[in-house]
Structure 1
């Protein structure tokens, strides 16, 4: 768990100190999306191969579906809010840098 948080923190620090160009940001976004889909597919394959999980799906029922749906919804909302906050700060930093460069 610490390795995950450390990696995330280092990535945020690097992105803050050296923002990506728009082209590299699009490439990073595409790589992140592909990586996320691979992760979800591998997790689904692991769950699908676990007979205990498959046998218990009937018991889990609606509660599991609701929990999963709200987890996804909460994650999407938080990513949207964080993205707006991060991009707003990035635009401010870039405009300040451009203002200094034109002097």
Structure 2
């Protein structure tokens, strides 16, 4: 997802932060939120992070900022996983799926 460095990254749903890490260089700093036994979301290429592991977050809460990304390419990597399988986020983002 396109964006500018420093733009807020908002939690897509209520949940609990299960990972804040920079261990995967390809993703930069990332935050993973577990929403329930079915869904998790991952947010990567982050700059400043505003949450810690085990924090409870609310939908719409700022959890981080978009980082600088690669050379001239600031962006947010956003991923939805349903039962561990990555799914197309578009139907969730536009309200067609819940």
Q: TM-score range by the shorter chain?
A: under 0.3
Higher relative contact order (CA 8 A, sep 6+): 2
Higher strand share: 2
TM-score by length of 2: 0.24
Highest CA radius of gyration, 1 or 2? 1
